[in-house]
Amino acid sequence: MLLGFEPGTSWKQDKQCNHYTTQDLQPGDKGLDWAARKRIAFATAHGLEYLHEHCNPKIIHRDMKAANILLNEDFEPVLGDFGLAKVMDTKTTHVTTQVRGTMGHIAPEYLSTGNSSEKTDVFGYGITLLELVTGQRAIDFSRLQDEEDVVLLDHIKKLLRAKRVVDIVDEKLQSFEGREVEMILQVAMLCTQSFPEDRPRMREVVRMLHGIGLEQRWAEWKQLEELRHQHHFSQNFFIWVEDSTLDQQDATQLSQPR
């Protein structure tokens, strides 16, 4: 399990481990091909499931991100950096603390209320999956140069709505299994829903990574996401119409005789 450091083992957490790139690897070193990324995704899910479901008291990592997954020379993953972790009684639903963590990986409810739970880790895991597939950072201001969203989650949602899955995958990946990429993206979207109650538990995530129950959950997500998108669009349209009406009124008033 991904619970710690094995004595005598040489663990690496270099730039390529943080951001899943191969540009800094020395000749002869292995890069992160699709098989390695998939292995990291599955192993991390099993590790979080163990922390949440099989530890008593349960453990919330609270800083789930790609940079905290340590890799050895064979790219076998270990979940590291438990500096922000909290131990919780199995009957406790959440803990309230000062907000700490990494922007882009922090769940919305934790950011707004300070409440963290297993679902906080689920959100961070979903963002980590997006990092694995895309090779990009959770927040990257360089995307503004291409008029894209700074936040990776928003960027991916836009590409999914446009059915541009190919544009999501890291261009450094020479080969990958398209269906596997789609499945991991679907799991990532389910894990990063705004409300914690909508996100799956890690034991469900593990099952979905193996294809169990994913199809139904994904169909429900697509339907709900379409409603969210329509609601967001209608709100923005209402604001635009309201502003336009006010502008017209101001113009009319200014043109009246004084």
pLDDT, tens digit, 9 for 90 and up, residues 16-69: 444 333 333 444 444 588 999 999 999 999 999 999 999 988 999 989 998 899
Q: How confident is the model over 103-126, as pLDDT tens digits?
A: 889 899 888 888 888 999 999 999
- Residue 195 pLDDT: 93
Instruction: Give, for 109, the enclosing helix (H) or strand (E).
Output: helix 108-113
pLDDT at residue 249 greater than cutoff 60 = no
- What whole-number percentage of the chain has pLDDT above 90? 38
Distances (CA, A) of 247 to 224, 234, 236, 240: 35, 20, 16, 10
Distances (CA, A) of 164 to 7, 155, 188: 44, 11, 16
Average pLDDT, the chain: 78
- Residue 168 pLDDT: 93
- Residue 174 pLDDT: 83
Task: Name the residue ranges covered by the structural domains of the chain.
Answer: 20-212
Catalytic residue, from 63, 121, 149, 247: name it.
63
Q: List the single range of 55-59, 86-90, 96-100, 230-234 with lowest mean pLDDT.
A: 230-234
Residue 98: how many other CB atoms lie within 10 Å: 5
Helix, strand, coil percentages, rounded to 5, for the chain:
55, 10, 40
- Residue 18 pLDDT: 45
Give the strand pairing for 77-79 and 69-72: antiparallel
Q: List the single range of 27-31, 148-152, 162-166, 233-237 with lowest mean pLDDT.
A: 27-31
- Residue 114 pLDDT: 82
Q: Cα–Cα distance between 181 and 194 in angstroms, integer?
A: 22
pLDDT at residue 222 greater than cutoff 90 = no
> Residue 60: beta bridge partners?
86
- Residue 233 pLDDT: 57
- Residue 21 pLDDT: 32
- Residue 7 pLDDT: 31
20-212: which CATH number, 3.10.20.600, 3.40.50.170, 1.10.510.10, 1.20.58.340?
1.10.510.10
> Residue 17: beta bridge partners?
none
Do 140 and 115 form a contact (C-beta atoms < 8 A)?
no
Q: Note the pTM of the prediction, 2 decimals.
A: 0.76
| Known catalytic residue at 170 | no
- What whole-number percentage of the chain has pLDDT above 70? 73
CA triple 217-221-225, angle to 5 deg: 180
* Phi/psi of residue 18, nearest 5 degrees: -70, -40
